[in-house]
Structures are given as structure tokens and as C-alpha cells.
Structure 1
Amino acid sequence: MSTATPTSRRSRVSAATVATYAVLVVLAVVYVMPFLIQVATSFKTEDDAAANPLSLVPATVTTEAYRTLFLNSDLPLWFANSVVVTLCVTLGRVLFCSMAGYALARVPFRGRALSFAVLVAVMAVPNVVLLIPKFLVINQLAIYDSYAGLIIPLLADASAVFIMKGFFESIPASVEEAARVDGAGTFRIFWSVVLPMARPALMTIVILSFQASWNELNHFIVASQDPSLYTLTKGVAQLASGALSQGTQYPVKLAAAALMTVPVAVVFFVFQKRIVNTTTGAVKE
């Protein structure tokens, strides 16, 4: 019976490694290519974008699309509205979802299991199904066409509560027991002891909440119709329907889309190193 030599085994391993990296490179190119085309097209003229839509090198580099956005559209207003809504929603979700997650993980109360079951059920419901009920509630509360209508319904998120609950359950109970022996109450333990230890989960919620609220569109459509309350997603959707002028306006539309991605990318790269699946500082049981 013949056995493979070390050289042949190394050759097979090397070939498998090369093939794996080749597949990964192809997938990366397929994934990144639309974004590169978007950025390149934003610097093209309209004729160039129509003639060479997939070219990554503009025939004539121009910033006319960006000038059109800033001078002939309400992009600064849309950007300001998106910043206000996104910051409020992100801070609200971090606060309320962490409190709800801690209550479901650590605070004993009647109906806790039922509450968690309802939470999981809400996660299974598509958001589009809730648009009409959401509109009816917003209208009945008299917060339609207001910042309150844009922000309040987004302050809680079932998936964020689920993430926080799972993280709080991973923290040893001995940490809380030691604080309780020292006379700390439930809220004091949550705020001063447990919450600082949940920083990795909080960073995750910050990124997910920022991204979700910044890219939200369906809720903003049913929550307002006042042009002064348009966010970037709603404004760019209006541009996509030809709001500025006739023609394809591909450079203008893709320039707006490129600008939309900048804040989310910045937030992700700033906070990504802080997302660590560990309970730093916890006392092992």
C-alpha cells in the first residue's frame, strides 16, 4: 500500500488553499463591484454614465452631480433630519433595550416567560405587515408629520432586546450578588455594575441601531408627508423617481447614494474593534 509523501501532501494543501482564496477573491469582487460602480458613476457626466454604465474609470471626471445635490436639492435638510432621527433612535434603543433585556434576564416578575415569547414572536413578523397598524397608531396619537412620529415608534427593537438579554445572562450572577450585599438596589446594580460590563453588546446595538434607523424608509413613508421632515432615504427615493429633472440622472442618484453610505461606514469602522464577545471584568463563578 502506497502512502503519500510529505511533499505531495503539502502540494494538495497548497492547491486547496489557493482554490479557497481564489473563490473568496471572486466573491469579494462580486460584492464590492456595485459599490465601486456607484462611486465611479457619481463622478461621470450623464452622457458618459448612459454610454458606459459599468466602467470604473470616468471618461471625464466631474463633480457636477455633487454640486447639483448641494445647490439644487434639499440634501442638507434631508441630512440634518436623518442625523437628528438617527441619534435619537440610537440613544433611545441603547437605553430602553438594555433595560428591557436586563429585566427579562435578571428581574423576576410574573409573566416574564410570556413576555419573552411575545418578543420572539414580534421578531418573526415582517415589518411591512406592521406599517398600516403603525400609521393608525401614529395618527391616533396626533404625532403624524412630526419628529415624534418619526422617532418614538423606532425607540424599541425586539432583536436589540434579545441581544441584550442574552449578554446579561452570560454575566455571572455573583457580580450582582456582591453589589446587592453592599446595599445596591436593582437599578443601581443595572446602571453602575452590569451595564458597564455589557459594553461589547452596547457597541453592537449602537452599530445595528444606527444602521437600521439611518437606512429606514418604510416607517418614514407612513409617519410623515411633510417635505421639511424628509430624511435622506426618503429624499433619495424621491430623486430616484426623477424629482430634479428629466433624464436618467444616474450620476446624481448614485452620488446621493454614495453620500448616504459615509456615516454608516464611519460608525462601523469606529466601533467595530469594540465588539468583543466577552464579559471583560466579570468574576468567574
Structure 2
Amino acid sequence: MTDPQHTQQDPATQHPQPDFPAQEQPHPGWTGPMDPPPDHGEESYRGAGRLEGRVTVITGGDSGIGRAVALAFAREGADVVFTYLQEEAEEARETSRLVEDAGRKAVAVVCDIREEDNCRALIEHAVAEFGRIDVLVNNAAYQMSQPDGIEAITTEQFDRVMRTNLYGMFWLTKYAVPHIPEGGSVINSTSVQAYKPSPHLLDYATTKGAIVTFTQGLAQMLVDRGIRVNAVAPGPVWTPLIPATMPDTVEFGKQSPLGRPAQPAELAPAYVYLASQEASFVTAEILNATGGTPLP
């Protein structure tokens, strides 16, 4: 039987290419209606024990990159605590199923990370469940395209983007670090937008640039504690956030040199590597996975 994870393929054509059918969803978006359906590695990811016995916390683990990371971490031997919003309960059940089918424990927590008390409670929940946190993945994010200029970005939208993408990451890291042992790590999700901002995503891109700086500064702050801090910078990725926040999904991802968006399954191995002992000399690093778009 062919193993799709290890079969050599042309990266430009191994996953669906635009044009995609026009599709729009209300925020936060759901996996089921998406065409083509996202690939989280359900049929392809094969673990090798890289994270055996680790305790991991992943924000936004119900779908998209977060689900793919949860699946990969579980198949590498990790237990997974992940967050979701109340309206994403059905998505969260599917992520839990994938983790449990891998033989690991899944703890799904409703958590809006825009509030500090929620972030503190999430970390306390994880520590009460497992006694420690080996890997924190700050992945949850909010964006909303505003093609009509800065005047169209309301204070409410700007505040939501900042609190979700920056404040939540800060609070979760602050409360998690005391429970991360030597050899543990923090992995943040930044973006190609940090370096090549799209005007219609001005506020989102601003946060992603800040995440790069936060990652590199925090890595130096925590090096004496034996904790590594890194980030992954994806290019366009086919997740529910896209039909829920972008005005035109037909050509999404066509701008990348590979001519298509990534599937979530293609990002998960980057997080596995950064969390694993194989990356023991890697900290303050931004791992770019942009489909060929050169970044600094």
C-alpha cells in the first residue's frame, strides 16, 4: 500500500489548485461545507514517537492548522489540550476523535482567549489534568478582510484582532511558562503577512509582525530556563477562516509560487519538528512555509 506521506510528488500538483468554487461562510467558518475539503493528514500522517508522553496545549485546535497539529502531535505520542469557541463544538468533537483514535487523551476546552481570566483558567485546567505543559502552541487567530481601506477597520475589529492574536498569546505564555519544564517549548503561529502584508489585512498583518518580535525576544528571555521558543510562518492555507473572512476564495493561494494554497496537513510537520528533541539547537527561529514566497 502506498504511503502518501512519503510518496515523492510534484508539490505544485499534489493538492488541489485554484480556481476553487466561490464560497462564503459566516465567521468562524466550518470545515464541512468547504470545497475542496481541507486535508489535515487524516489519511497521510504517520507518527514516529517524536513526542511520546508530551503534554501539549494548542489554541484554535478545532479546525485548520490547529486540527492538523493536534492530529500530528497525537500520532507522535502526545496528549492534547486544545481550545475552541462555543460555535465550533462540532468541529472540536472531530478533533477529539482524531486524537483519541491515535490512542492519546484529548481535552477540549471552550475558551475565548480575548479574556485574561479565560487564558489563566485554560492553563490551570491543563496543569490540573496532566501536572505540566511540555509544548504550548499559540495558534488561534482572528482576521477580517477590509478592502475599502483603513477607514473601514472599526475600533471593535481592531480590538478583536489585537486581543485574539497578541493579548491571548501573551497571557497564555505568561501563565504556561512556570509549568513548562526544561526541554519544553513554545511555538507561535505567525504568517507570511508579517513580512509581505496585504493591504486588506492590515490589522491582522500588524499582529503577525509583532508575533515574530515576541517570539525572538521571548526565546532569549527563556533560554536560561531551557525552554525553546519558535514560530511557523505559513503562506496561504486552506482553512475555514478563508471562506469566513475573505471576499474572494476562487483564486485563493494562486499568488504563491507553487500556485496553490497549502493544506493544513502540510504545516503540521513543521510544528512537530519544532516541538521535538530533533530541534534541540533551534530557538528564536521563524520556520517559513510559504509555498515558495521568499521571506527575510
TM-score, normalised by the number of residues in structure 2:
0.25
TM-score, normalised by the number of residues in structure 1:
0.25
Would you tell me which structure has more helix in proportion to its own residues?
A: 1
Would you tell me which structure has more strand in proportion to its own residues?
A: 2
| Structure with the larger RCO, 1 or 2 (CA within 8 Å, 6+ apart) | 1
